[in-house]
């Protein structure tokens, strides 16, 4: 056990920073203040991600046969940490590299890997995640969208139902869709569904988290085929759990939280208003961010060793939610004008992104259920 960085890891940081300095435009912060699913950020991601891929920094942790360089999970995380802090110039494509791609790598057929991983690693495809529904949010097993196998030998299913809160759906080309394929509670399957299939309707939901982040998606007799199913029929729960463990710590949220805290403190210092009480609140918020950082690092380290996870992703996620709240509250308490003005666009942006932290990837209370069960052994 040790807490240092290798020379190679420090060099990677320097290389990434040089790349960002050269590739992010002067007005990037204004663009980044829009949501990752906005048209502007999505368009930018289609320019930025291919450049990042050319640098070998988009999917470097993927195996070499799939276009990666076999870099460690740590290298990928170091990249993700800096990019999230910079406002996530990968836009919605962070989904692909963080967890959809790795899940396809783990469960996909060779045909699926060939079809999807190639576009992901060149940085030019947008996916959405079809999990939550009106009847099943945190209780994902309560979903009702159903994929019914059709008679005949063409392996055809028809999907009917509705998803909600679907990020990036309007501009997505594919959906990582979970649907019921049997009557048992967890009899679900995952499909890699092209979003241009007839019968799909996407409607935006206008929200306080920003434009392009939330949608309703309706499926009306949408065709999907056996060769588009990820993993065996009815075994989707295992696939989902695998992907969620990536998603729960996929975003190093504490990185933007710390940057936001720094910005708010700088504002107070400029106004000679960084009083003792503010110092104390800022220091406490920072410790919560650092706590989240260490717990997320621990999960990354476990992932690198391919060790089975026993609740640590949920521990880290809950700590992250606490950190996001502490920083958001600090801004509202001490620099409220930054929340309601465009003086520091990323401060308001942080708030938009932070407010969803306790809901996405399973509500914070679901994480606590998992910690109680898997870490403390307090099962019912």
Partner 1 sequence: MDFTLSEDQQMLMTGFEGLLSNYRSAPHGQHGYVCYSPEFQQELRDSGFLEIASQPGFGLLEAAMLVEEAATCPISVEAAASMMIGPLVGDATGPVALVWHAGRPVRFLAQARTLCLFEGDDVLVGDAAPRDIEALDSVAAYPMARLRAKPAGLERLTGADAAAIRRRAQIGIAAEAAGLMRGALDNTVAYVKEREQYGQPLGHFQAIQHRLAEDAQIVRAAKLLALRAAFEDSDRQAAIACLYAQDAMRKVIYDCHQFSGAMGLTLEFPLHLWTYRLKVLQGEAGGRAAQGRVVSRETWGASQVGAAAEPVAEGVA
3-state secondary structure of 129: strand
Burial 236-260 (b: 16+ CB within 10 A, else e): bbebbebbbbbbbbbbbbbbbbbbb
Looking at residue 194, the DSSP 8-state letter turns out to be E
Asked if residue 114 binds partner 1 (CB under 8 A), the reply is: no
Comparing CB distances to partner 1, the nearer of 46 and 302 is: 302
- According to DSSP, the residues that pair with 192 across neighbouring strands are 176
Q: Establish whether 365 is a catalytic residue.
A: no
Residue 257 CA to residue 324 CA, distance in Å, equals 6
Q: How many CA atoms lie within 13 A of 343 on its CB side?
A: 12
Asked if residue 26 binds partner 1 (CB under 8 A), the reply is: no
Comparing CB distances to partner 1, the nearer of 178 and 321 is: 321
Asked if residue 8 binds partner 1 (CB under 8 A), the reply is: no
Residues 132/165, Cβ–Cβ less than 8 Å: yes
Over the window 240 to 279, marking each residue x when it contacts partner 1 by CB under 8 A and - when it does not, the resulting string is: ----------------------x--xx--x--xxxxx--x
- According to DSSP, the residues that pair with 164 across neighbouring strands are 216
Asked if residue 11 binds partner 1 (CB under 8 A), the reply is: no
Tokens of 290: 């650092």
Asked if residue 4 binds partner 1 (CB under 8 A), the reply is: yes
Asked if residue 205 binds partner 1 (CB under 8 A), the reply is: no
Number of neighbouring beta carbons within 10 Å of residue 306: 7
3-state secondary structure of 215: strand
Asked if residue 22 binds partner 1 (CB under 8 A), the reply is: no
**Residue of 81, 85, 88, 247 with catalytic role:** 247
Q: Minimum Å distance from CB 247 to partner 1?
A: 18
The residue whose two tokens read 């936001």 is 260
Binding to partner 1, residues 275-294 (CB under 8 A): 275-276, 279-280, 282-284, 286-288, 290-292, 294
Q: Minimum Å distance from CB 277 to partner 1?
A: 8
> From the list 55, 216, 301, 333, which residue makes contact with partner 1 (rule: CB under 8 A)?
301
Q: Minimum Å distance from CB 267 to partner 1?
A: 11
Number of neighbouring beta carbons within 10 Å of residue 103: 23
Residue 31 CA to residue 172 CA, distance in Å, equals 19
Beta-sheet pairing, 127-130 with 174-180: parallel
Comparing CB distances to partner 1, the nearer of 235 and 350 is: 350
Asked if residue 319 binds partner 1 (CB under 8 A), the reply is: yes
Listed ranges 4-12, 55-63, 118-126, 140-148: which one lies at the site for partner 1 (CB under 8 A): 4-12
Asked if residue 298 binds partner 1 (CB under 8 A), the reply is: yes
Comparing CB distances to partner 1, the nearer of 24 and 291 is: 291
Comparing CB distances to partner 1, the nearer of 205 and 273 is: 273
Q: How many residues bind partner 1 (CB under 8 A)?
A: 50
Comparing CB distances to partner 1, the nearer of 20 and 372 is: 372
Q: Minimum Å distance from CB 141 to partner 1?
A: 18
Residue 202 CA to residue 140 CA, distance in Å, equals 21
Over the window 57 to 86, marking each residue x when it contacts partner 1 by CB under 8 A and - when it does not, the resulting string is: -----------------x------------
DSSP string, 307-333: PPPSSHHHHHHHHHHHHHHHHHHHHHH
Q: Which residues contact 235 (CB under 8 A, 6 or more apart)?
A: 189
Comparing CB distances to partner 1, the nearer of 75 and 213 is: 75
Comparing CB distances to partner 1, the nearer of 7 and 340 is: 7
3-state secondary structure of 334: helix
Looking at residue 304, the DSSP 8-state letter turns out to be H
Residue 166 CA to residue 175 CA, distance in Å, equals 10
- Hey, which residues are catalytic here? 247
* Residue numbers at the binding site for partner 1 (CB under 8 A): 1-5, 9, 74, 262, 265-266, 269, 272-276, 279-280, 282-284, 286-288, 290-292, 294-295, 297-298, 301-302, 305, 312, 315, 318-319, 322, 365, 367-369, 371-372, 375-378, 380
């Amino acid at each position: 056990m040790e807490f240092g960085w290798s020379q190679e890891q420090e060099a990677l940081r320097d290389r990434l920073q040089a790349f960002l300095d050269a590739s992010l435009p002067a007005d990037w912060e204004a663009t980044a203040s829009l949501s990752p699913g906005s048209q502007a950020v999505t368009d930018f991601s289609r320019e930025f991600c291919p450049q990042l891929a050319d640098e070998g920094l988009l999917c470097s942790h993927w195996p070499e046969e799939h276009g990666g360089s076999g870099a460690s999970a740590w290298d990928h995380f170091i990249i993700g940490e800096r990019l999230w802090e910079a406002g996530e110039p990968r836009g919605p494509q962070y989904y692909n590299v963080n967890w959809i791609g790795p899940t396809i790598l783990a469960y996909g057929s060779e045909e699926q890997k060939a079809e999807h991983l190639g576009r992901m690693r060149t940085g030019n495809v947008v996916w959405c995640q079809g999990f939550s529904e009106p009847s099943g949010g945190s209780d994902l097993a309560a979903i009702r969208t159903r994929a019914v196998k059709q008679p005949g030998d063409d392996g055809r299913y028809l999907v009917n139902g509705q998803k909600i809160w679907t990020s990036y759906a309007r501009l997505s080309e594919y959906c990582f869709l979970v649907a019921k394929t049997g009557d048992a509670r967890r009899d679900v399957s995952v499909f890699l569904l092209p979003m241009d299939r007839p019968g799909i309707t996407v409607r935006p939901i206008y929200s306080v988290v920003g434009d392009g982040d939330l949608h309703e998606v309706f499926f009306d007799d949408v065709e999907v085929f056996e060769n588009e199913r990820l993993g065996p029929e009815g075994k989707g729960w295992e696939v989902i759990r695998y992907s969620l463990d990536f998603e729960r710590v996929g975003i190093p949220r504490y990185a933007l939280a710390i940057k936001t805290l720094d910005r708010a403190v700088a504002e107070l210092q400029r106004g000679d208003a960084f009083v003792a009480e503010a110092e104390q609140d800022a220091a406490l918020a920072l410790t919560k961010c650092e706590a989240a950082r260490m717990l997320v690092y621990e999960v990354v380290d476990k992932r690198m060793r391919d060790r089975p996870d026993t609740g640590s992703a949920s521990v880290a996620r809950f700590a992250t939610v606490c950190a996001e709240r502490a920083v958001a509250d600090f801004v509202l308490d001490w620099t409220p004008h930054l929340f309601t003005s465009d003086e520091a666009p990323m401060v308001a942006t942080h708030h938009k992104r932070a407010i969803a932290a306790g809901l996405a990837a399973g509500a914070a209370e679901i994480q606590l259920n998992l910690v109680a069960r898997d870490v403390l052994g307090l099962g019912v």
